């Protein structure tokens, strides 16, 4: 069986399916490369429905891969719902590994895996989407000798993902979807040298994602211990920094950009404050009941405490409601509408 000349790995999120359909319809049926796609969608989505939707726009074979499938040229593989899509030694790995930036599948996981095993034969593409999945992975693709392509943020339905990549990674090509198919078709005709010069830390991080290694000692080889804990499992976070991008990961495999970690801590803080508000409301109600049954000085003291708690409640409620209003756009779950 012939191996693909290149891997085209694509990350997309909100607004991604229309963009992907426009892109694959430009690719020739004789494409010598394989196309691997991570599109964010809900864990209970019907992956086959999205594959059928892509198939209507291309003569390339479109599939939901199974773990262990060989990677074939002229084929489009879409990561299944709630599974990471990785590569290893010419085959696909479909795993339920730890989430990265709270996503599974995650573009960063696919991009890193491709960089580790295919090096200069990888072309990473970031399309429309919110937040920053794909940025860390593009950085690793570039360090391994691959190419980075980003949809022009000015035409992206949701420009956050392309803008994040442009802000943190030296991008080779920035262009609209209408010109991307022709570019990719030309790039996969250029011979590559494979993965002979992939940095060791990229290979190690890919192995951790495959669950081949994942001990504390292995993660210490990637970065330095931080003072923070993983928001997903509570384990210690290690700080990784190459170039402009600051990243964190724990030894169990959860990974975050600094921005994603900040948003996660904001969400945890908000949850804690809502619990505190509920407890103060309960305390106020209890004091009110006690005051109604008391007499004289005791009742006056309870009323004073009630007024004090009411002040705390009002200030906390105002803070929470204003905070929710200002952060709804960035903290709301992002799922692709099919």
pLDDT of 81:
96
Task: Answer whether residue 187 shows pLDDT above 90.
Answer: yes
The matching CATH number, chosen from 3.40.50.2300, 3.40.50.970, 3.40.50.180, 4.10.80.400, for 7-187 is 3.40.50.180
Alpha carbon distance 287, 175 (integer Å): 64
Q: How many Cα atoms within 13 Å fall on the side-chain side of residue 186?
A: 6
Cβ(100)–Cβ(254) below 8 Å? yes
Q: Which of 66, 92, 59 is nearest to 80 (CA)?
A: 66
Residues involved in catalysis: 13, 40, 133
- pLDDT-based confidence at 327, cuts 50/70/90? very low
Per DSSP, the three-state class of 26 is coil
112-147 tens-digit pLDDT: 999 999 999 999 999 999 989 999 999 999 999 999
Alpha carbon distance 130, 157 (integer Å): 10
DSSP string, 224-239: EEEEEE-TTT-PEEEE
What does the domain layout of the chain look like in residue ranges? Answer: 7-187, 214-253, 260-331
Residue 238: beta bridge partners?
Answer: 225, 249
5-9, 11-15, 166-170, 276-280: least confident range: 276-280
Per DSSP, the three-state class of 39 is strand
Task: Answer whether residue 101 shows pLDDT above 60.
Answer: yes
Task: Answer whether residue 333 shows pLDDT above 60.
Answer: no
Alpha carbon distance 172, 145 (integer Å): 12
Alpha carbon distance 79, 106 (integer Å): 9
Alpha carbon distance 228, 46 (integer Å): 37
Pairing status of strand 255-257 against strand 245-250: antiparallel
Cβ(115)–Cβ(140) below 8 Å? yes
What φ, ψ does residue 197 adopt, rounded to 5°?
-120, 30
Task: Answer whether residue 247 shows pLDDT above 80.
Answer: yes
What pTM was estimated for this model as a whole?
0.80
Neighbours of 317 (CB within 10 A): 15
DSSP string, 192-228: --TTTT--HHHHHHHHHHTTS---HHHHHTT-EEEEE
Cβ(18)–Cβ(57) below 8 Å? no
| Average of per-residue pLDDT values in the chain | 89
Position with higher pLDDT, 272 vs 85 = 85
- pLDDT-based confidence at 296, cuts 50/70/90? low
Helix/strand number for the chain, H first, E second: 10, 13
Alpha carbon distance 225, 230 (integer Å): 12
Task: Answer whether residue 206 shows pLDDT above 50.
Answer: yes
Distances (CA, A) of 55 to 73, 143, 300: 16, 33, 74
28-37, 141-150, 182-191, 199-208: least confident range: 199-208
Alpha carbon distance 107, 129 (integer Å): 11
């Amino acid at each position: 069986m012939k191996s693909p000349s290149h891997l085209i790995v694509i990350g997309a999120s909100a607004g991604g399916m229309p963009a992907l359909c426009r892109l694959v319809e430009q690719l020739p049926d004789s494409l010598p490369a394989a196309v691997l796609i991570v599109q964010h969608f809900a864990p209970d989505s019907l992956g086959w429905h999205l594959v059928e939707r892509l198939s209507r726009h291309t003569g390339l074979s479109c599939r939901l891969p199974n773990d262990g499938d060989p990677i074939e040229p002229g084929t489009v593989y879409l990561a299944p719902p709630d599974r990471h899509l990785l590569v290893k030694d010419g085959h696909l790995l479909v795993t339920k590994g730890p989430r990265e930036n709270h996503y599974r599948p995650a573009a960063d996981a696919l991009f890193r895996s491709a960089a580790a095993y295919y090096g200069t034969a990888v072309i990473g593409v970031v399309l429309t989407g919110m937040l920053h999945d794909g940025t860390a992975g593009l950085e690793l693709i570039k360090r391994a000798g691959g190419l980075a392509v980003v949809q022009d943020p000015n035409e992206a339905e949701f420009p956050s993902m392309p803008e994040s990549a442009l802000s943190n990674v030296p991008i080779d090509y920035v262009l609209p979807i209408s010109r991307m198919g022709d570019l990719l078709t030309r790039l996969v005709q250029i011979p590559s040298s494979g993965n002979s010069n992939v940095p060791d830390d990229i290979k190690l991080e890919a192995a951790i994602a495959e669950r081949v290694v994942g001990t504390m000692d292995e993660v210490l080889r990637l970065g330095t211990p931080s003072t923070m804990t993983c928001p997903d499992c509570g384990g210690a976070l290690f700080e990784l920094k190459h170039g402009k991008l600051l990243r964190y990961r724990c030894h169990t495999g959860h990974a975050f950009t600094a921005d994603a970690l900040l948003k996660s801590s904001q969400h945890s803080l908000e949850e804690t404050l809502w619990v505190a508000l509920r407890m103060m409301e309960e305390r106020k109600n209890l004091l009110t009941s006690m005051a109604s049954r008391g007499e004289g000085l005791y009742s006056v003291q309870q009323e004073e405490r009630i007024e004090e708690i009411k002040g705390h409640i009002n200030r906390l409620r105002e803070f929470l409601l204003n905070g929710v209003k200002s952060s709804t756009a960035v903290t709301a779950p992002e799922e692709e509408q099919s």
